[in-house]
Chain A
Amino acid sequence: MKIEAVIVEDSRLARNELKELIKKYPEIDLVGEAENVDKGFELIQEKSPKLLFLDINMPEKDGFELLEMLDEVPITVFTTAFDEYAIKSFEYNALDYLLKPVSDKRFAMALDKVKKKLAETSDEKITDKRLSANSQIFIKDGEACWLVKIGEISHFEIVGNYTRVFFGDKTPMLYKSLNQVEEKLPEQDFFRANRQQIVNTNFIDNVVPWFNGKLKLQMKNGQEVEVSRRQSYIFKDRMSL
């Protein structure tokens, strides 16, 4: 299995150095490299690689800003000279980082982790523009950052023009509207319960009939979501209730 990878790093020599390390692993297929965030963004949109080597300090926009620009984030390995603090701002640690200069041993360890993660992710290729349950999204709320798999999110809720994301015991804000989010979500897993909320159907524990032909969903985390009347019909239909 080939792992398509891209490098986003501003220093040409540092890119060379990284390529030299990658050479020893024929399974990595380097499909492109970029010297700044905007070029990196275009490259990733075009190639949708599985793996991203990302520098943090780059001119004008930093590595985190690149992740924020992406709808779907590839498995990311940060490369940095001395920004441990920036890496540590990740609460939900779904990534690895390499300190430059990188030793062969440390690189091999990082690659092992990447492979393990890729193995967890089924090899389904995304057919349309939608994300899959295994797709990662990047959320930055204030100082804290998370990389979250779509399938781990229990529901989304409208807050003004933005959206609150619920996963585990975390509830960070995503700076996109609920409608924007809905367009990207996999239809088979997510359901628009009402104007304010989208739920992950895998997180539904129980469905209770409510008044006026409406339904109430009891979620696995104890929360209750009321389904609007119109959506209740659709829901019943979909679940063949």
Chain B
Amino acid sequence: MLSIFILKKISVELVVYSIITGIFIGIFSTSLLRWYLKRNVNFEGFDVKDFVKILASFFVTSGLFGFLNFGSGYAYVKWGPELTEAEMQHFENYDATWIWIVNSMFIIGAWTVTYLVIKLLLKLNRDRIERLELNTHLKQAQLNTLKGQINPHFMFNSLNNIRGLMLEDVEKSREMLTKLSEILRYSLTKNNINAIAVEEELEVVDNYIDLSKIQLEDRLEFVKEIGEETLKLQIPPMIIQLLIENAVKHGISNLKQGGRIVLNLKQEDGLLIIEVKNTGKLQIGKNTTQLGLKNIRQRLKLLYADKASFNLSEITGEVVAHIKIPLA
């Protein structure tokens, strides 16, 4: 097409005709190419097959483009106005097949490269946004952990109960204050650690249960069934603690008569199995944001991908939380 304009003494009709047919043919054949590439080439995971497809479709499109161009020129010569000498010469040049082949390959090639570059840039941008979003989610998850760790309701209730306890048993009040400080210290310092020994986590659980007992008194019964072999295993901090917290908050403290929490830890087939059972019914949605559960799921997913599992179910009047963690 470029060569057309280099030649002189060409009639206005031919120039207009060439531009219009050129644009039309160009849009037509590249649209076909784009349609094909979009449907058949996988830009996400690019491989040799995709490259062959691009190359093949490029040749086919070039052929089509050249053929249509040739056809339009032919039509002009046959039915158009009489040609000037320069025009004759111009068309004669085109009789040589290689010229229009090179010409159309050059144009379609330039188009294909541009198309691929734009695709690539868009993809890079999309990847960047996805990465940012993932980062935000991670940050959010970390924030949620923080929020989950110090439950203000628990803290203020405990402080108030200790104040009340001082009126009747100073020694026990002193002990409870120490336990509350230990819980606070644990949640403030173990926040950035990814693994902790089971026995260390169990200390926090005991403290938490003791403090809950001064609120719930004989409404709370706690039973531990701990496999000796699990004590030294490393687990993500606050996982057992959050399960126990959920069992107290959504289970026992909602029951007028109270109930029982059973914590069971055992090692099986290279997995640590954590099971927390509490009296009560599984109530999803009512007055809960499920922040605690989401938090556990998210952390297990981040740490173990699909190798860990967590599920919550109701079995004969008891809510059962079940976690499996692969051992390192």
Contact = CB atoms under 8 A, between A and B. Distances in A.
A81 B256 contact: no
B168 A16 contact: yes
Interface stretch (A7-15, A89-97, A164-172): A7-15
A36 interface: yes
B161 A13 contact: yes
Nearest to A83: B153
Contact of B254 (A12, A13, A60, A83): A60
A19 to B, nearest CB: 9
Given A81-B156, A101-B156, A17 B255 contact: no
A82 interface: yes
B84 interface: no
A60 B256 contact: yes
A20 interface: yes
A59 interface: yes
Interface string B193-219: 000000000000000000000111101
A60 B255 contact: yes
B167 A81 contact: no
B152 to A, nearest CB: 4
A11 B214 CA distance: 8
A165 B255 CA distance: 35
A177 interface: no
A81 B157 contact: yes
A13 B152 contact: no
Given A11-B215, A16-B164, A17-B164, A57 B159 contact: no
A84 B168 CA distance: 30
Nearest to A11: B215
A16 B216 CA distance: 14
Contacts of A101: 156, 159-160, 163
Contacts of A100: 156-157, 159-160
B275 to A, nearest CB: 24
Interface residues of B, number: 21
Contacts of B217: 11-12
The residue in B152, B160, B214 that gathers the most chain A C-beta atoms within 10 A of its C-beta is: B160
Contacts of B168: 16
B57 to A, nearest CB: 60
Contacts of B156: 81-82, 99-101
A79 to B, nearest CB: 9
B235 interface: no
Contacts of A82: 152-153, 156
A93 to B, nearest CB: 22
A65 to B, nearest CB: 12
- Residues of A in contact with B, size category: 20 to 34
Interface string B159-190: 11101110110000000000000000000000
Nearest to A16: B164
A16 B167 CA distance: 8
Given A57-B153, A82-B153, A101-B156, A13 B256 contact: no
B164 A81 contact: no
A201 B164 CA distance: 50
A26 to B, nearest CB: 19
A231 B255 CA distance: 51
Interface string A9-49: 00111111100100000000000000010100000000000
Nearest to B218: A12
Contact of A59 (B152, B159, B165, B254): B254
B255 A20 contact: no
Contacts of A12: 164, 217
Contacts of A14: 157, 160-161, 164, 215
Contacts of A13: 160-161, 164-165, 214-215
Nearest to A12: B217
Contacts of B216: 11
B309 interface: no
Contacts of A15: 164
The residue in A36, A82, A83 that gathers the most chain B C-beta atoms within 10 A of its C-beta is: A82
B243 to A, nearest CB: 20
Given A14-B161, A81-B157, 18 more contacts: A11-B157, A11-B160, A11-B161, A13-B161, A13-B165, A14-B215, A57-B253, A59-B253, A59-B254, A59-B256, A60-B254, A81-B152, A82-B152, A82-B153, A100-B156, A101-B156, A101-B160, A101-B163
Interface of A: 11-17, 20, 36, 38, 57, 59-60, 81-83, 99-102
The 10 closest A-B pairs by CB, nearest first: A13-B164, A17-B164, A81-B156, A100-B160, A101-B160, A13-B161, A16-B164, A81-B157, A82-B152, A82-B153
Interface of B: 152-153, 156-157, 159-161, 163-165, 167-168, 214-217, 219, 253-256
21 contacts: A11-B216, A11-B217, A12-B164, A12-B217, A13-B160, A13-B165, A14-B160, A15-B164, A16-B164, A17-B167, A20-B167, A59-B219, A59-B254, A60-B254, A81-B153, A81-B156, A81-B157, A81-B160, A99-B156, A100-B159, A101-B156
